[in-house]
């Protein structure tokens, strides 16, 4: 069986999550909008899931809007706010996920101005330049990811959001999909107005997520999907109860033993990067910044990233070359380009993202495999670029 090292793309379903979902796949039936007993049972299960998600990020239950995942939640946050007439100017960063960048480009075509916050060479949003942009453009919405999906670099959401609140009265949205289960995520401490979650990033099922919206301060336009009154009219359609139940259980589990999980993941990353540093010329992106404990994004200067991925896949190791949503694109990562990384180095980028089921022994085997693959490259070629 292959060693899975791509947990930022998606995580394995937790056995307890599957167990809790099974009755809703096998026995429970009906429509959660129905008034009969079966309908009321399903409605209760949905509200239990909503409560668990709310507890996960410390928000009010009524502020949880269930969606089909992080992409829909990001679209709802941006398009819903802009189309409600609440924003003529939006600020975001150059390293956001495509599900934020693409809606912003679409809104720009409708007359909404969109400005990009730059990042440092370590992949952190530049505080001083971003403050200057806030003062210059006075945005109504600022959208910033909590942690980058490629580099794992944690972003200064709270201080930048506070500047937005104080300077222009901007509302703040954060895509927190990569943070849950790896670092503490508290909506009140972050002081944000909207937050995106995705269940499959923390051992929940794929195809379900949420947009957390502070109803008291945020006005969104009508739903992206129109129809019935589900999710307070923000998302029409009969609810996928089994997926929501799984989401809720994963949220409950993500709160348990978080510090121990962080410590385990950090030890795996440190061990990997300690051995990785023995290879001449290897570069770890964002290594000087605070990162998610499970993420290492590196480049071997004489080994094309996609080629290395295929060789590792043949050897039984599953890694990634950056965003899973761009796995077929051969252009350099937009994240690394924003960091000012040279194209030849960026094209060699490979990401390891560990999970709690990974072991030190698997890291030893991965390092041995990398060593074997690298030694197959002629010495003259390796020495020429080191």
**Measured CA distances, 250 to 18, 147, 180, 182, 339 (Å):** 10, 20, 10, 13, 34
Catalytic: which of 59, 89, 325, 386? 325
Contact 101, 75 (CB under 8 A): no
Alpha helices, H only, the chain? 15-26, 37-57, 70-83, 98-109, 127-137, 157-168, 187-190, 241-254, 258-276, 305-314, 334-338, 343-346, 360-375, 379-384
SS3 336: helix
Examine the residue annotation and report whether 325 is marked as an active-site residue of this protein: yes
Contact 338, 94 (CB under 8 A): yes
The DSSP symbol for 147 reads: B
Q: Residue 148 contacts by C-beta under 8 Å, 6 or more apart in sequence?
A: 95, 123, 155, 178, 286, 335
Count Cβ atoms below 10 Å from residue 44 Cβ, excluding itself: 11
What span, in angstroms and rounded, lies between the C-alpha atoms of 185 and 159? 15
Half-sphere exposure of 267 (CA within 13 A, CB side): 12
**Both tokens assigned to 365:** 């085997």
Angle at 108 between CA 104 and CA 114, to 5 degrees: 65
**Both tokens assigned to 376:** 């197959």
Active-site residue set = 325
């Amino acid at each position: 069986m292959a060693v899975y090292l791509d947990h930022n793309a998606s995580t394995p379903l937790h056995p307890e999550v599957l167990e809790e979902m099974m009755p809703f796949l096998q026995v429970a039936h009906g429509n959660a909008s129905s008034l009969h007993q079966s309908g009321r049972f399903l409605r209760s299960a949905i509200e239990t899931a909503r409560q668990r998600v709310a507890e996960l990020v410390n928000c009010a239950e009524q502020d949880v809007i269930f969606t089909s995942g992080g992409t829909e939640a990001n679209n709802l946050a941006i398009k819903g706010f802009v189309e409600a007439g609440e924003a003529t100017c939006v600020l975001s960063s150059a390293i956001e996920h495509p599900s934020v960048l693409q809606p912003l480009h679409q809104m720009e075509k409708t007359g909404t101005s969109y400005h990009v916050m730059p990042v440092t060479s370590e992949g952190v949003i530049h505080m001083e330049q971003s403050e200057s942009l806030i003062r210059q453009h006075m945005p109504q919405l600022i959208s910033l990811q909590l942690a980058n999906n490629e580099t794992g670099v944690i972003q200064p959401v709270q201080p930048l959001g506070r500047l937005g609140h104080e300077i222009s009265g901007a509302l703040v949205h954060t895509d927190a999909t990569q943070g849950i289960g790896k670092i503490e995520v508290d909506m009140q401490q972050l002081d944000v107005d909207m937050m995106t979650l995705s269940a499959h990033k923390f051992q929940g099922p794929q195809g379900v997520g949420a947009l957390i919206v502070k109803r008291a301060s945020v006005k969104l336009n009508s739903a992206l999907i129109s129809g019935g009154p589900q999710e307070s009219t923000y998302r029409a359609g009969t609810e996928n109860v089994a997926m929501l139940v799984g989401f809720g259980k994963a949220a409950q589990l993500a709160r348990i033993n978080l510090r121990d999980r962080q410590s385990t993941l950090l030890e795996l990353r440190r061990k990997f990067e300690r051995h990785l540093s023995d290879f001449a010329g290897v570069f770890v992106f964002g290594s000087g910044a605070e990162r998610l404990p499970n993420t290492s994004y590196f480049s071997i200067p004489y080994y094309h990233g996609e080629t290395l991925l295929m060789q590792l896949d043949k050897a039984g190791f599953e890694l990634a070359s950056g965003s899973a949503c761009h796995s077929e694109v051969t252009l350099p990562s937009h994240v690394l380009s924003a960091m000012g990384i040279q194209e030849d180095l960026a094209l060699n980028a490979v990401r390891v993202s560990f999970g709690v089921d990974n072991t030190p022994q698997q890291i030893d085997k991965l390092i041995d495999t990398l060593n074997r693959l690298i030694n197959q490259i002629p010495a003259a070629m390796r020495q020429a670029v080191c």
